Amino acid sequence: MPVKPEFLSTIGLPLLARSLQEFREHNDDHPIDVAGVVFNHASDYAPEETRSKREVNAEATKLGWYVFQNDIRYSRSYPKGAREGRPIFRTSNAQQRQKTAFHIFAQEFAQRISL
């Protein structure tokens, strides 16, 4: 579950958990689970992000949700990739740092879901 490291995410997690529970109650033939929470659209605004990450981690722990160790930082390649119709790591100005970050997260995700 992608989560932006900001205050509104802290409010949103319990709402999402309630929605998931309602879905499960009405759709027992369609199992659904949360593989984990990943911080995306992270930036260098440390004071707010640090506090928000701490709060989201606490809320995720209460809900029994895993929090991925690797963040996905904001990149100008996101809108460029959407415009070009390609993954961000294949855009004309993709940076190695973003490619590496996605690769590291993908490995963690694959391990988490036992791929």
pLDDT tens-place values along the chain, 115 residues long: 999 888 888 889 999 999 999 999 999 898 888 999 999 887 777 788 889 999 999 999 999 999 999 888 887 777 777 888 877 777 776 777 777 888 899 999 999 999 8
How long, in residues, is the chain? 115
Which one-letter DSSP state was computed for residue 37? B
Q: Are residues 104 and 60 in the same domain?
A: no
Using the structure block, give the residue that is written with the tokens 């809108």: 79
- In the chain, the N- to C-terminal Cα span, in Å, equals 17
Residue type, position 44, single letter: D
What pLDDT score does 99 carry?
79
Q: Are residues 57 and 110 in the same domain?
A: no
What pLDDT score does 97 carry?
79
Residue numbers of the domain that contains 37: 1-74
- Dihedral (Cα; 89, 90, 91, 96), 10-degree rounding: 40
Q: Are residues 21 and 47 in the same domain?
A: yes
Q: Are residues 112 and 69 in the same domain?
A: no
**Count of domains for the chain:** 2
Across 52-62, b (16+ Cβ under 10 Å) vs e yields bbebbeebbee
